[in-house]
C-alpha cells in the first residue's frame, strides 16, 4: 500500500516533515535502512517543494517476512524543467552515473511527452535494495513502450506488445492517463537496468470493471499465470456488480527481467466514491 503522511495542518512541507517522522520511527523499530535515502535527501526534499507531492512511502507486506519500506520521491519537486538533471544527479550519487544515457535513449525520446514521474528506493540492505526510475508516456502508442523496454537486456517485446494491446484495447495512441515505464536497478548494475515494468491505467481504457476484469484475465492467460489469486482478491473487495462502476480494477503492470517477472493488478478500495461506468459516447 502507498501512503502519504498528512500533517495536522496539511501542506507539502508539513506533510514531508510528518512522513520523515514516521520513517524515523520505523527505522528505530524495524530493519529500515536510510543510507540510500540520505544520499539523495537534499535533492528531493527542498524547503519549498513543488509538484503534486514530495514524499510517499509504501509498505510491502508478505508472508513470513517483516514489512519492507519503499519511498517515492518526485522528480518535479524543483520544477519540471529540472527533473531530468535531478534524476541524473541522484543516479550518480547512488553509483549509477552511467545509467542515464540508456534511459534517455529509450524512454525520453519524445520531447514534452516523455517525462520522469517518480524516483523510488527500497530502504533495506543495499545488496537487495532496488533503485527505480519511472517515466510517464503521454499520448504513447505500443511501439513507444516496446522501445522503452529495449533498454533492458533480454526483454520479450512480443509479450509486452500483446499485454499492452490486451489491456488498452488497441495499439494507441493512449491519451487518457499515461502509460508508465519503470526501470529497476539492482546491486551490480552500472549502465543498464536489470528489470523493466509497464504500468497500465486500465481503468481509463475500459467502459466498466467487468470489461477490466475480462482484460486482466486475458492478460494472465497470455502470460500463462494462475488467475485464482486475482479472482480471490477481487471477490474480497467487490461490493457491487462490476458493470456498475469503473476504477475498482485500477492498474495492471507487467514485470520483465530481474528480479521477479510477472503481472500485478492494483485494486482500489473505493473508500471515497464509485466512479460511474463510461458510456460509449463519452469514451469515443
Residues 123 and 215 in one domain: no
Q: Are residues 179 and 226 in the same domain?
A: no
Shared-domain flag, residues 188 and 230: no
Residues 186 and 219 in one domain: no
Residue 273 lies in a domain: yes
Indicate if 33 and 132 belong to the same structural domain.
yes
pTM: 0.92
Interval 109-163: pLDDT, tens: 999 999 999 999 999 887 889 999 999 999 999 999 999 999 999 899 999 999 9
Q: Which residue has the cell 480471490?
A: 232
Residue 114 maps to a domain: yes
Structural domain for 137, as ranges: 2-159+173-200
Q: Convert the pLDDT of each residue in 183-214 to its tens digit.
A: 999 998 999 999 999 999 999 999 999 999 99
Same-domain pairing of 135 and 152: yes
- Give the CA angle between residues 113, 118, 120 to the nearest 5°: 150
DSSP secondary-structure letter at 75?
Answer: G
Tell me, yes or no, whether 192 and 240 share the same domain: no
CA-CA-CA-CA dihedral for 269, 254, 117, 278, to nearest 10: -50
- Domain for residue 164, yes or no? no
Q: How far, CA to CA in Å, does 223 sit from each of 156, 216, 227, 243, 277?
A: 12, 11, 10, 25, 28
| Count of structural domains within the chain | 2
Sign of CA dihedral 74, 77, 80, 86: negative
How does pLDDT run across 230-260, given as a tens digit for each residue?
Answer: 999 999 999 999 999 999 999 999 999 998 8
Query: 3-class DSSP state for residue 257?
Result: strand
169, 194, 182, 99: which is closest to 137 by C-alpha? 182
Question: Quick one: 56 and 143 in the same domain?
Answer: yes
Amino acid at each position: 500500500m502507498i501512503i502519504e503522511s498528512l500533517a495536522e495542518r496539511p501542506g507539502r512541507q508539513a506533510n514531508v516533515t510528518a512522513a520523515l517522522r514516521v520513517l524515523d520511527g520505523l527505522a528505530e523499530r524495524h530493519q529500515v535502512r536510510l543510507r540510500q535515502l540520505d544520499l539523495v535527501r537534499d535533492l528531493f526534499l527542498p524547503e519549498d517543494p513543488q509538484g503534486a507531492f514530495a514524499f510517499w512511502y509504501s509498505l510491502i507486506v508478505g508472508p513470513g517476512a517483516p514489512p519492507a519500506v519503499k519511498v517515492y520521491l518526485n522528480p518535479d519537486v524543483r520544477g519540471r524543467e529540472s527533473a531530468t538533471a535531478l534524476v541524473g544527479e541522484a543516479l550518480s550519487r547512488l553509483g549509477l552515473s552511467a545509467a542515464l544515457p540508456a534511459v534517455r535513449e529509450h524512454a525520453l525520446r519524445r520531447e514534452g511527452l516523455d517525462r520522469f514521474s517518480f524516483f523510488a528506493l527500497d530502504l533495506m540492505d543495499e545488496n537487495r535494495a532496488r533503485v527505480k526510475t519511472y517515466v510517464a508516456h503521454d499520448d504513447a502508442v505500443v511501439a513507444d513502450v516496446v522501445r522503452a523496454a529495449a533498454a533492458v537486456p533480454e526483454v520479450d517485446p512480443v509479450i509486452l506488445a500483446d499485454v499492452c494491446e490486451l489491456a488498452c484495447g488497441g495499439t494507441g495512441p493512449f491519451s487518457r492517463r499515461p502509460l508508465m515505464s519503470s526501470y529497476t536497478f539492482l546491486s551490480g548494475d552500472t549502465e543498464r537496468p536489470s528489470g523493466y515494468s509497464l504500468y497500465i491505467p486500465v481503468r481509463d481504457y475500459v467502459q466498466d470493471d467487468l470489461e477490466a476484469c475480462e482484460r486482466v484475465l486475458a492478460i494472465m492467460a497470455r502470460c500463462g499465470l494462475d488467475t485464482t489469486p486475482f479472482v480471490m482478491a477481487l471477490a474480497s473487495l467487490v461490493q457491487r456488480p462490476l458493470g456498475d462502476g469503473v476504477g475498482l480494477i485500477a492498474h495492471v503492470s507487467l514485470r520483465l527481467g530481474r528480479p521477479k517477472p510477472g503481472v500485478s493488478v492494483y485494486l482500489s478500495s473505493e473508500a471515497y466514491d464509485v466512479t460511474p461506468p463510461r458510456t460509449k459516447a463519452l469514451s469515443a
